[in-house]
Structure 1
Amino acid sequence: MTAARAAGAERLDAFMARANAAYYAGRDPFSDFITAPEISQIFGEILGAWCVVAGTRLGGPAHLVEAGPGRGTLMADALRVITRAAPDFLQGGAVHLIETSPRLRACQADALRPFPVSPVWHETLETVPRGRMVLLANEFLDALPIRQFIRTSDGWGERYVEGGDWRVESLHDAPPELAVRDADLDDVVEICPAALAFAEAVGERLVADPGVALFIDYGTARSLPGDSLQALRDGRPASPLVDPGSADLTAHVDFEAFGAAAQLRGVRNFDVVEQGRLLASLGAVERAAALCKNAPEQAGAIRSGLDRLMAPERMGRLFKAIALASPGQVAPPGFEPDGAPFSVTGQRSSRNDD
């Protein structure tokens, strides 16, 4: 462990932020990976119905907000359900998209053009107008820059990047989060300051105004040590430290730390649920059956897509969901302690049965 940082060394979170900013500005990220809304329309439709049920409980029109909306596919599928099944849901509210990439903003505008909404784009949550809010975020937290720390015989060190390799620097001002982490010698511990800050911002908003938020991403339900930084370049795993800007850099989400940061602001934090279990409880299987009946020629693709989202050995267990809600709000669909079922089987709005 070095005593002083070399001039060319860059702290991991700064390196990751710079690399991802360049990547999203210059490439189509969906050429390297595919997200749940792109796999199956059921994902967005189910979440659209979720928004209606959870949002209606807030007592009036609500802003519909998505953080990291990608190509706009999730919001388009959600709005297809919302505008047909509950056309008054957005009356007096609006659609707000938290997105910094001009390239992706253009994709989102195209995706939402068929719907009677006028989306508003934001750099951060802070500029979304006050009022009731339903917030969705799918695979948003995993791309936020992380810091990595290593427990050494001399204390904690922090990882920097220099010349495509790691450099460990001594750490004299360890973040307080490290004090509560269980770590053995040479263990790597990850902290995502941006995710914790976003949790705090959401928590403050939900305390000030009635609202509910749903985050779905891949990661761990509990805070665990380990190096989860990874990169995808041309659709294949690659070194995350080489050629920054040419690959998408992500890390597993620490749902326990994220929920705790929001809860400190006074919101309700519901237990983490695996994606497969959440989709099952929201009626995804029944929805697939209805789609297969309406479009039998696509039944194989529909079932295959849903299996990819729900099977434990695929995305069903690795991907998880956490819900936050204003004080006094009941548990949103899929997070009830008794596992009460919720289904959108009766909704006919979809890509396949228009």
Structure 2
Amino acid sequence: MRVSEFMAACLTDPEHGYYTTRDPLGARGDFITGPEISQMFGEMLGLWLAQVWADAGAPARFVLAELGPGRGTLMADMLRAARLAPGFTEAAEVWLVETSPVLRRAQAQAVPGARWADRVADLPQDAPLFVVANEFLDALPIRQFLREGALWRERMVGLEGDQLAFGLAPAAADPELDRRFADVADGTLVETCAPAEAVAAELAARGARCLFVDYGDWAGHGDTLQALAGHAPADVLATAGTADLTAHVGFRWIAEAAAPLRADFTTQGVFLERLGITARAQALARGDRADEIAGQHRRLTHPDEMGTLFKVLALTPRGAPQTPGFG
């Protein structure tokens, strides 16, 4: 099977899928995300939303959707910060795009009054759409291809004896891969993520205002498929269905798929600093919390932590004001 089919089965199988059977977040889970590290992360994104909403004319009703909302921590923190903008809370119709029954139960506790959708296509279409997604794109199934001269061989997952193993499909021409990866050397592995691009195209068709935060690059190559279990790297094939599977995001292809929306791109550290996270950290760092807050700030923004590895992509209608955090 393709790598994308393997990822989809491992993560979303209704009976055995990783995301459908557990809460993967936090110290007792397998990984931790920005909102779980510090309230400051969600507060900065909430301020971004409030300004973008105001710049859009402060519509009296709008759909505020989060894709892959985890436990609901990010949405709760964003709403708390964004309520500083008069009228924002009353205008926001909160939707969470989530398929996991386990996580929906946690989200209901964190975000009272939220509504749920299984897909972006299920979100209401009768109001302006604002979307936030943190560490959502990296979990969407990817395909992998190996350059072999002028042709490409797709990486597959199959059996070698009674063990899962990687293999390669027969070589074939692929003009789209030629266009995207014209300069990569023979023997280079590249990745594509059609589901992520489909989401971007759908949001563009809605004229949505979007913010994506994830790890990856503008356009890179190499094998980035990884498994994480117990906050440590794991064998991708040996932990099928019991570990988180992700891959780095190619943000250039998301931006291309979202044309004609305007795309702004920067690192997480720069984005959060421009939004004022240092001032917020200083306000929170009182008494015996000073070291804790300083550690959270460093983890979110420092180049040696999440500051450079994680990127931020904003998609907005052309002609709209420059969104905060991008210079």
Match for 2:269: what amino acid?
A: G
Q: Where in structure 2 are the equivalents of 1:270-289 lying within 5 Å?
A: 270=264, 272-289=265-282
Match for 1:214: what amino acid?
A: L
Rounded Cα–Cα distance in structure 2 between residues aligned with 1:158 and 1:175: 14
Match of 1:125 in 2: 120
Match of 1:348 in 2: none
2:53 partner SS: helix
Q: CA deviation at 1:154?
A: 6.5
Q: Where in structure 2 are the equivalents of 1:164-243 lying within 5 Å?
A: 164-172=164-172, 174=174, 176-181=176-181, 182-206=183-207, 211-221=208-218, 223-243=219-239
Q: CA deviation at 1:171?
A: 4.4
2:19 partner SS: helix
Asked if the contact 2:79–2:89 (Cα under 8 Å) also holds between the matched residues in 1, the reply is no
Q: CA deviation at 1:121?
A: 0.5
Match of 1:268 in 2: 262
Asked if the contact 1:64–1:90 (Cα under 8 Å) also holds between the matched residues in 2, the reply is no
Out of 150-159 and 36-45, give the one that drifted further. 150-159
Out of 54-63 and 304-313, give the one that drifted further. 54-63
Rounded Cα–Cα distance in structure 2 between residues aligned with 1:318 and 1:153: 31
- Taking structure 1 as the reference length, the TM-score comes to 0.85
Match for 1:280: what amino acid?
A: E
Asked if the contact 2:148–2:171 (Cα under 8 Å) also holds between the matched residues in 1, the reply is no
Match of 1:23 in 2: 18
1:29 partner SS: coil
Match of 1:322 in 2: 313
Match of 1:98 in 2: 97
2:305 partner SS: helix
Q: CA deviation at 1:257?
A: 1.2
Q: Where in structure 2 are the equivalents of 1:5-20 lying within 5 Å?
A: 10-20=1-11
Asked if the contact 1:55–1:133 (Cα under 8 Å) also holds between the matched residues in 2, the reply is no
Asked if the contact 1:99–1:121 (Cα under 8 Å) also holds between the matched residues in 2, the reply is yes
1:321 partner SS: strand
Asked if the contact 1:58–1:132 (Cα under 8 Å) also holds between the matched residues in 2, the reply is no
Q: CA deviation at 1:203?
A: 1.0
Asked if the contact 1:67–1:135 (Cα under 8 Å) also holds between the matched residues in 2, the reply is yes
- The alignment's C-alpha RMSD in Å is 1.4
Q: CA deviation at 1:300?
A: 1.0
Residue identity over aligned pairs, in percent, reads: 43
Rounded Cα–Cα distance in structure 1 between residues aligned with 2:196 and 2:85: 32
1:26 partner SS: coil
Match of 1:110 in 2: 109
Asked if the contact 1:219–1:319 (Cα under 8 Å) also holds between the matched residues in 2, the reply is yes
Out of 313-322 and 326-335, give the one that drifted further. 326-335
Match of 1:82 in 2: 82
Report Cα offsets for 1:219-242 as digits up to 9, x if no partner: 012x22200000012221111122
2:258 partner SS: helix
Rounded Cα–Cα distance in structure 1 between residues aligned with 2:50 and 2:282: 22
Q: CA deviation at 1:267?
A: 1.2
Q: Does 1:46 align with 2:40?
A: no
Q: CA deviation at 1:173?
A: 6.0
1:158 partner SS: strand
Asked if the contact 2:18–2:241 (Cα under 8 Å) also holds between the matched residues in 1, the reply is yes
**Structure 2 counterpart of 1:246, from 235, 239, 242:** 242
**Structure 2 counterpart of 1:258, from 244, 254, 263:** 254
Match of 1:65 in 2: 65
1:277/1:24 Cα in 2 relative to 1: closer, same or farther (>3 Å)?
same
1:312 partner SS: coil
In structure 2, stretches of 5+ residues that fail to align are none
Match of 1:37 in 2: 35
Rounded Cα–Cα distance in structure 2 between residues aligned with 1:202 and 1:302: 35
1:171/1:120 Cα in 2 relative to 1: closer, same or farther (>3 Å)?
farther
1:297/1:244 Cα in 2 relative to 1: closer, same or farther (>3 Å)?
same
Match of 2:132 in 1: 136
Rounded Cα–Cα distance in structure 2 between residues aligned with 1:37 and 1:240: 26
Q: CA deviation at 1:205?
A: 0.9
Q: CA deviation at 1:93?
A: 3.6
Q: Does 1:301 align with 2:292?
A: yes
Match for 1:269: what amino acid?
A: A
Rounded Cα–Cα distance in structure 1 between residues aligned with 2:85 and 2:91: 14
Match of 1:350 in 2: none
Runs of 4+ in 1 over 2 A off after TM superposition: 90-93, 171-175, 177-180
1:224 partner SS: coil
2:256 partner SS: helix
Match for 1:25: what amino acid?
A: T
2:20 partner SS: helix
